[in-house]
Structure 1
Amino acid sequence: MADSSVDSSAIEQPKPLRILIIGAGIGGLITALALRQQGHDVQIFESSKLAQETGAAIHLASNANGLLRRMGLDAEAIGGVECVGVIEYIPQTGAVKYQVDTAKMGKMWQHPWHLVHRAHLHTALKELATGSEGKGQAAKLHVASRVQSVDAKNCTITLEDGSTVQGDVVVGADGVHSRARTSIPGGDKHPFDSGKSAFRFLLPTDVLSSDPQTAEFIKKTGYLTMWIAEDRRLIMYPCVNNTMMNFVAIHPSKESEADITGAGWQETGSKARMLEIYKSFAPSIRAILEKADESKLKVWQLLDMEQMPSFIHEKLAVIGDAAHPFLPHQGQGGGQAIEDGVALAAVLPMGTTPADVKERLQIFEECRYERAHKIQSFTRTAGMDTAELAAKGEKLDMMVYMAYNFGHDAWDYTTNALQKHLKSKDKSLRFRSPIEFGAAPGPRRPLCFHPNATELNALRQKTPETSRTYSIKFRTSRTYLQNLLPAGFAFTSPATAVSATISCTTLDGMAWLASGGYSHLGLYIHGINYTKRDGSKVFGTYLPVLFENLADPIITGRDELGMPKLFADIDVKENADKGCEIALSWRGTTFGTFTLSDLNEEPPVMNGEHSAAPVQRGPGPPPPPPEQGTFFYRYVPAVGEPGKSDVEYPVLAPKPEAVAGATPPKSFATKTASISLQAEDWQALPTLHHVSEWLAGMPIYGVEEAKLVRSTGVTDLSGARRIE
């Protein structure tokens, strides 16, 4: 008999791509690290001998910091200081203009905002990318290897010594004066002086604290401090474990251009000229500038550039300053380079073939082009002089800028885009939601039209319909959950840490099921809005999936409401109101376990008992509007046309009114609850493995509350309607 076993050695294993990265700055190194971790062969070509970043400090806002953490780099470990506040002083007097506590706002963001020394970040990235420790094969760094030209089609680079190197992907991370950029049609853009230049220097914190004139400005640790005049400004913030203060003094270029002989970061500045430029500032501020070490004082032009027509061509992609140089006014230049590098790695997972590269780079550009340029536009506006803002009728809204900048996860976003692309190409897939199998009798058929209305009504009176609902509300990642939302839906808050609930209800005495019952368990995502075609918004909770353990309610819920229902076994083991354990499984394979314990009865809420006068709200984002019900999305696939739908639209089930004659519900609460979700493969869960994998990947940051609610009378959601 022939051996039917499969020889694993005969199965072709995926091969790594050969990635050629031009430039070993922050953008080049984060790209190397991310692609190394994807399993590829990474080669870095750096024109300098040491590949050492020598700049001052850099911002790692939540959007960039989260990506670094994903790659294994914690800013705290390299002296990063969390930015907990922003304070602006009036330059001429030194008096406080305003102060914002960003630590309170920080709870909105999934990751903290750190301020780090650029050289420390550069060194850490270099060690992670090229060191022997870590996931994947170490990237190889070639120093003193200046790239002369790039052949994007043949994926070849030519070095100044005439030698050539062949790869599968070329990444241009060679800065604002990029040579790689010129290999993109229309990419022969030249940076130009934005009209502003900047002095930069570092001072030990204790030097400032020991001087009575300057000590006042550093009493608050972790603060970004600004002095903004009509056409010049001074910015100060801490780094190196709060032992150093970084300074950037932005001013009209014409006032220091005599000091700038080139366009690099290492031009030595004149201290006398700097003091002259800031002579109108208060003595206490000039006292700071007096402390600058002239031998270490640097000055450079703030360069801008016209928008590139594309970031990609053939098998070449440019990132960071090579693609979109940033002015420093929002501290996002380094962050956007980090986003570029991680997004590029996200579209090139192990298993990507050389033939896939061109279309994968197109996905990368779709994910990065609009976002990078929008933040560029925000940054230019933020850097405008007062007179220029007035002349152009521009208004600064830093909360809007911060929400857009901080509230993004390039890995989650780009990975989702890649998955959509792959699914769109696979014609064997059938895009199906839990949708109807045809009309059938169900719970929403009006009693007066039922053929046995009298008997049904008597049955309801004899056996009341009851429900027991266990729920666990928890904090999770918006950037992970938002990939579930269809077009038109969005989170109301820009916060990246959001709330969701696992809710399990057991129904008994259901008349339409011959006094039987069933259980359902769903994921409910809070704080969602839907924007209608006329621009108005509807607010509610989004339900992406509802598991039920009986066919009849699944079919009727799909057909009559368009609800996203799937079958699963739901085992609820109760412990006399003090707790329970719920198991979610399919044919013996458990993929979810939820526990509640130490439940204690809550006092009943009487009408108006908790009403109070409106609370006066201080500065900050407004509270979310009241939710109007539960959203779900109806989807009906077209027969014989994979990937197309006959119809799809959003539905809102308004909050149900109390059932007539029902007794007040009893509520029990606890803080002791847990959620455990497991990913299973297609063999264990042939029809649910994709759902289990997604649920298991959902971050859980902590339980907010857990409850049991016992009720009589059950609503049938007959008020559900398509939104438009």
Structure 2
Amino acid sequence: MKAALIDLKTERNRRIPNPDQIIIAGAGIAGLTLALALSAKGFHVQIFEKSAALAEIGAGLQLSPNATRLLGRLGAMEQLQYASVEPQAVCLQDGTSGGELLRLPIGEQATERWGAPYIVCHRADLQNTLLTLARSRPNIAIQLQSTVTQRKADSQGMLVRVQYHDRIEEHRGALLVGADGVWSNLRTAVSDADRARYTGMVAWRSSLGVDQLPESFKTLLPQGVNVVAWTGSNAHLIAYPIRSGQMINFVAVAPDHEAGNRWPVPVDPESPSQNFIREFASWHVGLRDVMRAGRPWTPWRLFEMKKCRFLTEERVVLIGDAAHAMTPYAAQGAAMAIEDACALAGALSADRAAWPSALARFSRARTKRISAVVRRGALNHLAYHAKGPVAVARNILLRNRPVEKFIEGFDWLYGFDAEERKEQV
């Protein structure tokens, strides 16, 4: 499958020689969302992005109401709705039998209960939407093929050195934000102990057109447009529609038998040593058929941060994966990046003297929130990959507990508003 490319090569080199500007390292979801949120408050923003083009291969996203309410305020939902899908339910099913364990309605119920929709989309579509909006803002500049390599705080603010493909320049701003992902230069410069930790698991990603789905797999799909997760011993598979429902995104999470320390990992999809499907040998034939049909699958080794860190030093803030890379079991990676960005923008005022205390409050509140989400992810991991008596007990619970009780269990997560000033979870 070809990579979905967001071509940034035509981006104009608009510079904002403003010492009060906020400098952002990274033009991913976290960086672009922050730029838009800051722009809306009147701040000037300069983004430095090391790539000339952003590529995402087979990467779908689940965006729950805690993220879409913020995207809606930024004006992104109107454009994103043409490429996204609003599923009717999240369904959990047994990977071996294919039988349904639980069905949680999240269609109109999500907007009614949490005030915003639950959607699924391709990551590239979200990034394109955010990029288009950023390009339209006169107080946002995006500089490509540029990496922040050094920084120094002084009485006038933050001075950064930027490495371009053919030169080095210095830029000044009031604040430097690292939104440069799991391998953040700004984070690892603090301490080697802050590096991401490999989890020993791989998320294999692929997608198929709806007309390419094997018939044996179609029989397992619950009626309607849904997010479906099949659970099994030490592994799980998730499927949901993207690209206006014309394609199905698949994510299969399984143990890594060829451990490494890079992410993403180049791989020969035809190599027998990379045949992850063996982890699903005892699963329903329809699931094995769709895995074979979905080749090539792209592997993403899963890393996580042992410690959540938002503040590294004076006038340097981290957000998104740079602050707290997490495993995908709660489907909240992108949502947390969006929350971080909007919460940070909300913490900053025109009074720069108030920033240190405001950033300290931001860090405390976000650390508390992220810790709660990580705990939910760990619980989901246990539930998805259970085996033996634990899996039997899980299935009994899922089939017999009232659906409303499960729905209530998401109120703290999906009903959360990151722009509220109180320190909530």
TM-score by length of structure 2 reads: 0.83
Contact 2:104 2:407 in 1 (8 A): no
Measured after TM superposition, the shift of residue 404 of structure 1 is 1.7
Greater than 6 Å deviation, 4+ residue runs: 393-397
C-alpha displacement of 1:302: 0.9
Which of 113, 121, 128 matches 2:126? 121
Say if 2:200 is the partner of 1:195: yes
CA distance in 2, matches of 1:183, 1:262: 18
Query: What is the match of residue 10 of structure 2?
Result: none
The one-letter amino acid paired with 1:60 is L
User: CA offset at residue 162 of structure 1?
Assistant: 4.1
1:292 corresponds to: 294
Q: Could you tell me which residue of structure 1 aligns to residue 188 of structure 2?
A: 182
Correspondence 1:109 to 2:114: yes
Q: Secondary structure at the match of 2:81?
A: helix
From 162, 170, 180, the equivalent of 2:176 is 170
Amino acid at match of 2:411: A
Structure 2 spans left out of the alignment, 5+ residues = 1-17, 399-404
* 1:45 aligned onto 2:48: yes
Q: Which amino acid aligns with 2:339?
A: E
Does the aligned pair in 2 maintain the 1:181–1:188 contact within 8 Å?
no
Instruction: Determine whether 1:250 maps to 2:249.
Output: no
The match for 1:221 among 219, 224, 227 is: 224
Match of 1:339 in 2: 339
Determine if the alignment matches structure 1 residue 25 to structure 2 residue 23. no
The amino acid that maps onto 1:119 is A
- Which is greater in Rg? 1
CA separation of 1:215 and 1:271: change in aligned 2, threshold 3 A: farther
Change (3 A) 1:407 1:16: farther
Q: Is the alpha carbon distance of 1:205 and 1:261 closer, same or farther for their aligned partners in structure 2, counting shifts above 3 Å? A: farther
- Cα distance in 2, alignment partners of residues 387 and 284 from structure 1: 21
CA distance in 2, matches of 1:194, 1:78: 36
Amino acid at match of 2:72: R
The equivalent residue for 2:380 is 382
1:1-150, aligned counterparts within 5 Å?
17-54=20-57, 56-74=59-77, 76-103=80-107, 105-106=109-110, 107-132=112-137, 137-150=138-151
8 Å Cα contact 1:330-1:379 kept in structure 2: yes
Q: Secondary structure at the match of 2:90?
A: strand
Q: Hey, what does 2:8 align to over in structure 1?
A: none
User: Conserved in 2, the CA contact under 8 Å of 1:89 and 1:98?
Assistant: yes
Q: Using a 3 Å threshold, how does the CA distance of structure 1 residues 218 and 150 change in structure 2: closer, same or farther?
A: farther
CA contact (8 A) 2:159 2:173 kept: yes
* Aligned-partner Cα distance in 2 for 1:266–1:33: 33
3-state SS in 2 of match to 1:35 = helix
What value does the CA root-mean-square deviation take over the aligned residues?
3.0
- Alignment correspondent of 1:407: 415
Whole-Å Cα distance in 1 between the matches of residues 177 and 98 of structure 2? 46
**2:84 and 2:115 mapped to 1: Cα distance?**
17
Contact 1:55–1:119 (CA<8 Å) still a contact in 2? no
1:226-245 map, 5 Å: 226-245=229-248
Q: Which whole-Å deviations, capped at 9, do the CAs of 1:616-664 have from their partners, x for residues lacking one?
A: xxxxxxxxxxxxxxxxxxxxxxxxxxxxxxxxxxxxxxxxxxxxxxxxx
Query: Aligned equivalents of 1:59 and 1:232: distance in 2?
Result: 19
Q: Alignment length, in residue pairs?
A: 388
Q: Kindly tell me: are residues 309 and 326 of structure 1, through their superposed partners in 2, closer, same or farther at Cα, counting changes over 3 Å?
A: closer
CA distance in structure 1 between the partners assigned to 2:365 and 2:380 by the alignment? 24
CA deviation after TM superposition for structure 1 residue 377, in Å: 1.8
CA separation of 1:400 and 1:152: change in aligned 2, threshold 3 A: farther
Contact 2:106 2:118 (C-alpha < 8 Å) held by counterparts: no
The Cα of 1:207 is off from its aligned counterpart by 1.4
Q: TM-score, normalised by structure 1?
A: 0.50
Report deviation, 1:310.
Answer: 4.8
Amino acid at match of 1:402: F
Cα separation, 2, equivalents of 1:261 and 1:305: 14
The equivalent position to 2:209 in structure 1, one of 195, 204, 208, is 204
The aligned counterpart of 2:9 is none
Counterpart contact for 2:58–2:206, Cα < 8 Å: no
Native 8 Å contact 2:179 2:318 kept in 1: yes
Q: Deviations over 1:584-617 (max 9, x none)?
A: xxxxxxxxxxxxxxxxxxxxxxxxxxxxxxxxxx
Alignment partner of 1:67: what SS?
A: helix
Q: In 2, are the aligned partners of 1:53 and 1:122 still within 8 Å (CA)? A: no
Distance 1:70 1:92 in 2: 42
Contact kept? 2:277, 2:291, Cα under 8 Å: yes
After TM superposition, give the deviation of residue 155 of structure 1 in Å: 1.7
**Contact preservation (8 Å) 2:58, 2:207:** no
Question: Are residues 215 and 54 of structure 1, via their aligned partners in 2, closer, same or farther at CA, if it must alter by over 3 Å?
Answer: closer
User: Amino acid of the residue matched to residue 90 of structure 2?
Assistant: V
- How far residue 269 of structure 1 moved from its aligned partner, in angstroms, is 4.0
Please list, as runs of the form range in 1=range in 2, the aligned pairs for 1:202-601 lying within 5 A after superposition.
202-208=207-213, 211-218=214-221, 220-254=223-257, 257=258, 262-264=262-264, 267=267, 269-270=269-270, 273-294=275-296, 297-308=297-308, 310-349=310-349, 351-353=350-352, 355-384=353-382, 385-386=385-386, 399=407, 402-411=410-419, 413-414=420-421
Q: 2 CA distance for matches of 1:389 and 1:379?
A: 21
Rounded Cα–Cα distance in structure 2 between residues aligned with 1:120 and 1:46 = 18
Shift of 1:219: 5.7
Question: 2: CA distance between counterparts of 1:406 and 1:145?
Answer: 36
Measured in 2, the distance between the counterparts of 1:364 and 1:122 equals 25
For the 8 Å contact 2:64–2:118, the answer to whether it is kept is yes
8 Å Cα contact 1:55/1:265 also seen in 2: no
Give 2:14's aligned residue.
none
Name the CA shift for 1:357/1:404 in 2 (closer, same or farther; >3 Å).
same
Do the aligned residues in 1 keep the contact of 2:158 with 2:174 (CA within 8 Å)?
yes
| TM superposition shift of 1:230 | 1.5
How far did 1:195 drift? 2.3
State the alpha-carbon separation in 1 of the partners of residues 225 and 333 from structure 2: 21
Q: 1:378, CA displacement in angstroms?
A: 1.3
Q: Distance in 1 between matches of 2:126 and 2:389?
A: 35
Deviation at 1:383, TM superposition (A): 1.2
Secondary structure class of the residue paired with 1:386 = coil
Native 8 Å contact 1:169 1:357 kept in 2: no
Once residues 408 and 113 of structure 2 are traced to their aligned partners in structure 1, the CA distance between those partners, rounded to angstroms, is 14
TM-aligned CA distance change 1:276 to 1:118, over 3 Å: same
Distance 2:389 2:376 in 1: 13
Which residue identity lines up with residue 306 of structure 2 in the other structure? E
- Name the CA distance, whole Å, in 2 between partners of 1:321 and 1:223: 27
Whole-angstrom CA distance in 2 between matches of 1:330 and 1:401:
13
Name the SS of the counterpart of 1:163 in structure 2. strand
8 Å contact from structure 1 (residues 150, 183) kept in 2: no
Query: What CA deviation, in whole Å up to 9, does each residue of 1:328-367 have, x standing for no partner?
Result: 1111010000000011111224x333x3332221232133
Distance 2:265 2:174 in 1: 32
**For 1:31 and 1:88, how far apart are their aligned partners in 2?**
34
**Secondary structure, aligned partner of 1:329:** helix
Does the residue aligned with 1:146 lie in a helix, a strand or coil?
Answer: strand
Unmatched runs of 5 consecutive residues or more in structure 1: 1-14, 418-482, 484-493, 495-724
What is the DSSP-based 3-state SS (H/G/I as helix, E as strand, rest coil) of the residue aligned with 1:323? helix
Identity level (%): 28
| One-letter amino acid matched to 1:320 | G
Question: Equivalences for 1:606-625 in 2 at 5 Å?
Answer: none
Aligned to 1:405, the other structure's residue is in SS state helix
Give distance in 1, aligned partners of 2:389 and 2:418: 31
Q: Aligned to 2:244, what secondary structure does the other structure show?
A: coil
How far does residue 23 in structure 1 lie from its aligned partner after superposition? 0.5
Alpha carbons of 1:242 and 1:253: their partners in 2 closer, same or farther (altered >3 Å)?
Answer: same
The residue type paired with residue 209 of structure 2 is: P
Counterpart Cα distance in 1 of 2:84 and 2:108: 19
How far the C-alpha of 1:52 sits from its partner, in A, is: 4.4
Name the aligned partner's letter for residue 311 of structure 1: L
Matches of 2:270 and 2:389 in 1, distance apart?
Answer: 30
Contact 2:58–2:249, Cα closer than 8 Å, also in 1 = no
